[in-house]
Amino acid sequence: MADTAVAQRRTTVSQLDQWMVQDQVFRIYDLFANVPRAAQTLMLELQRDNHLEYLTQGLKQLGPSFVVLDANRPWLCYWILHSIALLGEPIDYELENNAIDFLNRCQDPNGGYGGGPGQLPHLATTYAAVNSLVTLGGEEALLSINRTKLHTFLKRMKQPNGAFRMHDAGEIDVRACYTAISVASILNILDDELAKDVGNYILSCQTYEGGIAGEPGSEAHGGYTFCGVATMMLINEANRMDLAGLINWVVSRQGVECGFQGRTNKLVDGCYSFWQGGVFALIKRLHVGVPLTFSDVAGDHDTDSSSEGEDTAENLYGDDDTCGHGGDCSSSSHTKIVGHPEIEPLFHSMALQQYILLCSQVQGGGFRDKPGKARDYYHTCYCLSGLSICQYSWSRDETSAPLPRAVLGPHSNLLEPVHPIYNVVLKQYHQAHEFFSTS
Buried b (16+ CB within 10 A) or exposed e, 205-238: bbbebbbbbbbbeeebbbbbbbbbbbbbbbbebb
Active site residue 266: yes
DSSP-assigned letters across all residues of 278-340: HHHHHHHT----SEEEEE-TTTT----GGGTT--SHHHHSTTS-TTSTTS-TT-EEEEE--S-
Active site residue 201: no
73, 263, 348, 419: the catalytic one is 263
Active site residue 17: no
Query: Could you count the other beta carbons within 10 Å of the beta carbon of residue 146?
Result: 17
Are β-strands 332-336 and 367-368 bridged in parallel, bridged antiparallel, or unpaired?
Answer: unpaired
271, 323, 381, 390: the catalytic one is 271
258, 370, 376, 419: the catalytic one is 376
Tell me the HSE value of 110 on the side-chain side, using a 13 A CA sphere: 12
What gap in Å lies between CA 323 and CA 406, rounded to an integer? 16
269, 381, 382, 392: the catalytic one is 269
175, 284, 348, 379: the catalytic one is 379
In terms of Cα–Cα distance, which of 66, 135, 141, 68 is closest to 103? Answer: 141
Active site residue 272: yes
What gap in Å lies between CA 334 and CA 23, rounded to an integer? 31
151, 175, 266, 405: the catalytic one is 266
73, 224, 369, 390: the catalytic one is 369
54, 201, 224, 272: the catalytic one is 272
CB 294 within 8 A of CB 251: yes
Active site residue 379: yes
Q: Which residues carry out catalysis?
A: 221, 263, 266, 269, 271-272, 369, 376, 379
